[in-house]
Amino acid sequence: MLAMTAVSPEPAGTSTGFDDALLQGVLARACASIMPAWPLDQAVAVNPHWRRIDKPIRRVAARLAVLGDFHVFPSRDYILQEWEAGRILPADLDVALKVHATREVCSLAAEDCVAGLAGGASIRREPLLVDLLDDKVQRNKRWPWRAAIVFQMSQTCAAYFDRHQADWRAAGSRSLYGFWRESMVGDHGLSSMLGLAGFARQLRELPVDSGEALHWALSELSLSASAWEDYFEALLLSINGWASWCAYVGWQNIPAGQDDPRLRELLVCRVAWEALLACAVPSSRKRVAVAELDANWRDFDRRVDEADAALVADELWQEALEASYQREFVQKLRTRVAPAPLRRPEVQAVFCIDTRSERMRRALEAISPDVETRAFAGFFGLPMRYNLLGTDIHRPQLPGLAFPSIAVQDVVTATGQATAEGDARSARARAVRWKRLARVDQWLGTVRWSSTTFSFVEAAGAGYLGKIAHWIRPPAGPRVDKDRIGLPSTSTDPCRPMVVGLDDEQKVELAAGILHTMGLDDRLAPLVVLCGHAGHCTNNAHASTLDCGACYGRPGEANARALALLLNDARVREGLSRRGLRIPDDTVFMGALHVTTTDEVTGFDLDLLPPQAQARWKMMEQVFVQAGDRIRRERAPALHMDEALDQRALLTSFRRRANDGSQTRPEWGLTRNAAFMIGPRDRSRDRVLSRTYLHDYDARFDEDGTVLEKLMMGPMLVTHWLSWQYHASTCDPLHYGSGNKVLHNVVDGHVGVFEGNGGDLRIGLPKQSLHNGEGWYHQPVRLTVVIDAPAASIESIVARNAVLGQLCDNGWMLLWRHEGDELQRYEQGRWLPLEV
């Protein structure tokens, strides 16, 4: 064991001479670099680099590599595989070099790039103090100190943030720093874990106040103030999973205008750990390490410059990989397709822009000429918070970039209108559900509490075998709607999600805006099916990643049904008519749900449909059955399933897969997403674009560009986030992926997962969502956005919204536009011809 030195923490209240305003500003900027990670049950796909998009992508890659060995671009091993397999061609690399030359002078030739694939970029991570203090010889005899810090802080955070999972919850300080300090003082195993005798005595001298602790720790580190911000960011990145969770906790307080201190407190804990170890080693060793630390971090900017230069080849290969995808994509876009006949369709089916909807749209249009499909963001324009009947749940169902502003709640009504009778029925159903859910909670408590577990198993006996049998032989039943569990059977069908809290004029305003943005204010079919989507899987901590990315990782059913009821409301239609927006008398809206795992479609509120609409829905049900079978056969090979099975057997196979609790890959979700198109259906119809998000838009009916601006600032940013979550989880699975599903342990029932029983909180997508067992199935390309609109309109929107300029100018997204039959790409405010 190493002996403790006489160095001790500075007593509380001692002045350190720090400029507190400067220090607080540095803390705020370091914390502002961390992007939130949403909980498992609200899987908002996020670009983890979002708060760094004000810098060029390669500069961010260089900075992150030096700060913490993070990887922004695809690995050279992956690129080498794509190159040797012939998926990246020499022509693609030539395109990358030409495109790159329009931005900056590049001294690399194609042969230099190919030669560089033999090894990784030589970038050295700047050391933290713990790295310089930890003895390499001793590290082989006990736990490495960096890993020990992550483990201790991670376990502490898991206990601190637990609100749902543990039956015995640790008591302690309400502040994260205070809770961490108490856990450190109370952990008598730290001395042996670190190989530091008497470490526990040192901990008792740690200041109780977090501000004083930070001042003391900085005085021990003796780091130049100019290096604080970079060093703080590196410390946060060293426990990036929990830093991202704390950033999420802070994000939730934004609507209330409240400041949450926990990310700053997490940083203070991490700085204090550095100082504690500095005080624990011999003074001579500390002096050498502290001096080396300051020298390294004074030189930080130069090291980032060197890393930036080393990553030029990696950026070129990123562009070559994108060119390999764009070759075929451009060919499809340039293929002429005859315009669809201008006649009123029997049915319009509106889907989410999700890439999985593209297959359904393509299949429906191929099967029935009477069906017109459209695409719109899956929250269907309702920025809503949804209150499920008989629960305290008020969950957001809108893009993660926004906050709810509309209330939707379940109402039991036979007519589809809120009435006094409906209120009474809702109250009765609510009371029944409360009781049933309370009994379920009591049962769960019986299972968990140690004093009753054995007696429960003995009492349950054979009654529990049914659940075990479902694991051995998964059932072939359809998806069960968990939102309706506990409702009395007589209330299930008439329990409908409805917009509440708005007067008639507000409802009319809402409906008019949605119809205009959706492009449905000019021509409506007799039946309009608003089709949300959801996944279907069992025993999957990341189940919500398969649900609607535009609905906070939720099924889109409630949004679709609530909008349909709103648009069917006679008073809303009267108000729309007064505005000159007349919905035909025979037009009926209805909600539906596309289960993307099995490609089955279910309609809702069918009892409200008039006879003619009922007949059209009956026709659509058969079309959906045929379309589903066609899509399952298209998807089966990528899931190693037999597409030659007959219709019933293939559907059964997909359902069993969805109900299989041991299945790590119920579907591929949004894997291989690569592009987003904003334009009329004629630009995408009759083409296979299964890697593309599609949003219908016609610039002829948007002269002032207001609709396009909503799409670029809404769905386009959502798809950018989705694209980058898949990209980051593939390029840096250690920091931005959640690892192997088989090893997952869920933290607090919803916060996130550990891979195994320790380490940092894992964020991002699990490996099985990206990797097919032999290699990466996802292709980490940046999102290519193609817009069919005048150049001036796009440019003015980019000019008004700084975030769009940052995304395009700094290389976080690729922007193209149609110019007649040709395509142009956006480059630093210019429109240039495509090189592909």
Q: What is the pLDDT of residues 601-635, one digit of tens each?
A: 999 999 999 999 999 999 999 999 999 999 999 99
Distances (CA, A) of 364 to 347, 379, 644: 11, 22, 21
Q: Which of 44-53, 112-121, 356-365, 458-467 has the lowest mean pLDDT?
A: 458-467
Residue 692, phi-psi category: left (phi > 0), alpha (psi -120 to 50), beta (remainder): beta
- Do the Cβ atoms of 612 and 584 come closer than 8 Å? no
Strands (E) located in 645-706: 675-679, 692-696
Rounded CA-CA distance 733/739 in Å is: 7
Q: In what order do the strands lie in the sheet with 588-595?
A: 371-375, 347-351, 527-534, 588-595, 600-603
Predicted confidence (pLDDT) per residue in 514-527, tens digit: 999 998 877 899 99
Structure tokens at 426: 């809702």
| d(C-alpha 422, C-alpha 413), whole Å | 5
The token duo for 537 is: 């899987």
Look at strands 406-412 and 384-387 and give their pairing. Answer: parallel
| Structure confidence by residue, pLDDT tens digits, 185-220 | 988 889 888 988 878 888 988 999 999 999 999 999
User: How many Cβ atoms sit within 10 Å of the Cβ of residue 492?
Assistant: 13
Q: What is the pLDDT of residues 562-574, one digit of tens each?
A: 999 999 999 999 9
What local confidence, expressed as pLDDT, does residue 2 receive? Answer: 37
If you average pLDDT over every residue of the chain, what do you get? Answer: 91
pLDDT higher than threshold 70 for residue 440: no
In contact, 553 and 38? CB cutoff 8 Å? yes
Separation between Cα atoms, residue 187 and residue 95, nearest integer Å: 58
Residues of the chain by 3-state class (helix, strand, coil), percent to 5: 50, 10, 35
Give the HSE-up count for residue 510: Cα atoms under 13 Å, Cβ half-sphere: 25
Count Cβ atoms within 10 A of the Cβ of residue 21 and give its class: 0-12 exposed, 13-18 middle, 19 or more buried: exposed
Q: Is the pLDDT of residue 508 over 50?
A: yes
Q: What percent of the chain has pLDDT over 70?
A: 93
Amino acid at 152: Q
In contact, 783 and 814? CB cutoff 8 Å: yes
Beta-strand (E) ranges in 610-713? 675-679, 692-696
273-332 pLDDT, tens digit each = 999 999 999 999 999 999 999 999 999 999 999 999 999 999 999 999 999 999 999 999
Angle at 425 between CA 421 and CA 428, to 5 degrees: 140
Pairing of strands 752-755, 744-747: antiparallel
- Per-residue CA distances from 418 to 193, 404, 415, 431, 456 (Å): 63, 22, 8, 19, 44
Please tell me the pTM assigned to this model.
0.94
Residues in contact with 645: Cβ distance below 8 Å, sequence separation at least 6, in sequence order: 653
pLDDT of residue 204: 84
**588-595 vs 692-696, strand pairing mode:** unpaired
List, in sequence order, the alpha helices (H) in 683-790.
706-713, 715-731, 733-736
Is 387:394 a contact under the CB 8 Å cutoff? yes
Asked whether residue 11 carries a pLDDT value surpassing 60, the answer given is: no
Say whether pLDDT at 460 is over 60: no
User: What pLDDT is stored for residue 589 in this prediction?
Assistant: 98
